[in-house]
Amino acid sequence: MSAKGWEDSGELYTVKSRVKNHFTVTKFNEFFWPIKTYHVRRGRRRWMLCECPDKIKPMCKHRRLIQIFEKGGWVNKGWFFDWVDQSWEPPLTWPIHRTVDRVRLKRA
């Protein structure tokens, strides 16, 4: 597969929020298995604090993802955002293997 292929990207994310101003950003692999999870919280004046290694930067990827998900209204909706392609993937449906095959075919 090409450099932009599904197996090479590994840049699929979801954002959930169970408590106001606290977010969970989860990164998934090509088989929809979670790879890493970061917790981000929003404080006063809308600043955000992320626990990732890039937290000292003014804007890390996870804080940017929260803005993208909020703008689209996709927080807690189950949608996936592909960081490489800057595209949305629908929530998983069952049986899961058909969903994974559909996404792989779409990206091939």
Q: What is the pLDDT of residues 75-97, one digit of tens each?
A: 999 999 999 989 998 888 765 55
Instruction: With beta carbons less than 8 A apart as the criterion, state whether 62 and 68 touch.
Output: no
SS3 102: helix
Q: Average pLDDT of the chain?
A: 80
Lowest mean pLDDT across 63-67, 70-74, 103-107:
103-107
Mean pLDDT on 51-58: 82
- Going from N- to C-terminal start, the domains of the chain cover 6-107
Question: For a pLDDT cut of 90, what percent of the chain falls above it?
Answer: 44
Mean pLDDT on 59-73: 92
Torsion sign over Cα 33, 57, 70, 84: negative
